[in-house]
Amino acid sequence: MKTRITEMFGIEHPIIQGGMHYVGFAEMAAAVSNAGGLGIITGLTQGTPEKLADEIARCKDMTDKPIGVNLTFLPTVNAPDYPGLVRVIIEAGVKIVETAGNNPAQVLPFFKDAGVKVIHKCTSVRHSLKAQSIGCDAVSVDGFECGGHPGEDDIPNMILLPRAADELEIPFVASGGMADGRSLVASLAMGADGMNMGTRFIATKEAPVHENVKKAIVAASELDTRLVMRPLRNTERVMTNDAVEELLRIEKEKGADLKFEDVIEQVAGVYPRIMMEGEMDAGAWSCGMVAGLIDDIPTCQELIDSIMAEAEAIITQRLAGFQNA
């Protein structure tokens, strides 16, 4: 299948594995890229330029296909060494970067000069247009369904994607609620040039996370996520667990007086305990409503092959059948 995204990134299938904290390691990215999609290493999980350089090198030992690096720009007191991370990405010869969080304008000139394509994650049409105006090559449009940070507008993809298609000139991929061939065909129908999957890729054989995490996703329904930190205007969609329910209780109790410090125990530094050690009640971890569509743990190759086969069948049989009826 050829789209503007497959052409831009030099990939076989219009499927991207989004950058995910403590998931986007070399094993994950290489497995997705080897299966014909675009695998992404999560830069901030590595933390330092040296560790990121090692992870990219490790990934390149596992695949000769295109890979990307996610670089999330956070408002933080102790900022990561962003100039060092940018330098390492360029020096390693990575040609695709997924940016997220704050405006990436300050790093775009360096990536442009090095021939690196930048796709920026956005949760609204206005942010997508801003990304286009500052020179991003593509955007990933995240609907309200997505795991992680869905923004504050609460617009689901049935509305957000066609709106993005109406306004944007650069290509975009759909993100949030993406799981299978139906997701891909629906995204293409609404104007996207591919899809980005996060939660679905965690529930794969190669995902380098604890088996408890994969089992939790398979066991969950579409009703098992919660929105936390909404009063702080830093909304995050997470899988429910004891820590999350306690967090929501604190939010309700504190009301308008809520401060980040009040919930820091439930959200700060919990990812290694959850993803690596399988402590499923350690704190809040990002998960999309799409968990309700996930009921197996295939290899990345099996997953992507099944998505593309299902998408082709929908387009050539089901939809064509309506036209020929």
Write out pLDDT tens, residues 122-165.
Answer: 999 999 999 999 999 999 999 999 999 999 999 999 999 999 99
Q: Cβ contacts of residue 130 below 8 Å, gap of 6+?
A: 103, 122
Q: Let me know if residue 323 belongs to a domain.
A: no
Confidence at residue 78, expressed as pLDDT on a 0 to 100 scale: 83
The residue-averaged pLDDT of 101-121 equals: 97
Please answer whether residues 119 and 90 qualify as being in contact, where contact means their C-beta atoms are separated by less than 8 angstroms: no
Distance (Å, rounded) from C-alpha 192 to C-alpha 140?
9
98 pLDDT above the threshold of 80: yes
Question: Between helices 300-313 and 26-34, what is the axis angle to 10°?
Answer: 40
**Is residue 179 very low, low, confident or very high in pLDDT (cuts 50, 70, 90)?**
very high
Please answer whether residues 194 and 307 qualify as being in contact, where contact means their C-beta atoms are separated by less than 8 angstroms: no
Domain count along the chain: 1
**Is residue 236 very low, low, confident or very high in pLDDT (cuts 50, 70, 90)?**
very high
189 pLDDT above the threshold of 90: yes
Please answer whether residues 194 and 15 qualify as being in contact, where contact means their C-beta atoms are separated by less than 8 angstroms: yes
CA 79 vs CA 84, 102, 114, 257: distances in Å:
12, 12, 24, 26
The residue-averaged pLDDT of 44-48 equals: 96
Confidence at residue 290, expressed as pLDDT on a 0 to 100 scale: 98
Q: Let me know if residue 309 belongs to a domain.
A: no
> Residue 228: beta bridge partners?
236
Distance (Å, rounded) from C-alpha 147 to C-alpha 226?
10
Arithmetic mean of pLDDT over the chain:
97
> Residue 16: beta bridge partners?
38, 196
Q: Let me know if residue 271 belongs to a domain.
A: no
The candidate with the shortest Cα–Cα distance to 99, out of 148, 40, 145, is 40
Please answer whether residues 113 and 149 qualify as being in contact, where contact means their C-beta atoms are separated by less than 8 angstroms: no
Q: Which amino acid is at 30?
A: A
120 pLDDT above the threshold of 90: yes
Confidence at residue 4, expressed as pLDDT on a 0 to 100 scale: 98
Distance (Å, rounded) from C-alpha 26 to C-alpha 18?
13
CB neighbourhood size of 302 (10 A): 14
Distance (Å, rounded) from C-alpha 212 to C-alpha 321?
42
**Is residue 75 very low, low, confident or very high in pLDDT (cuts 50, 70, 90)?**
confident
Element (H, E) at 253: helix 242-254
Distance (Å, rounded) from C-alpha 71 to C-alpha 19?
8
Please answer whether residues 53 and 86 qualify as being in contact, where contact means their C-beta atoms are separated by less than 8 angstroms: no
CATH number of the structural domain spanning residue 114 = 3.20.20.70
77 pLDDT above the threshold of 80: no
Q: Let me know if residue 275 belongs to a domain.
A: no
Distance (Å, rounded) from C-alpha 300 to C-alpha 35?
6
Give rounded-to-5 percent helix, strand, coil for the chain. Answer: 50, 15, 35
The residue-averaged pLDDT of 223-237 equals: 97
Helices and strands: H and E segment counts in the chain: 16, 10
For residues 74 and 284, the model is more confident at: 284
- Domain span at 38: 4-208
The residue-averaged pLDDT of 212-238 equals: 97
Q: Let me know if residue 242 belongs to a domain.
A: no
Q: Let me know if residue 256 belongs to a domain.
A: no
76 pLDDT above the threshold of 80: no
Distance (Å, rounded) from C-alpha 121 to C-alpha 107?
15
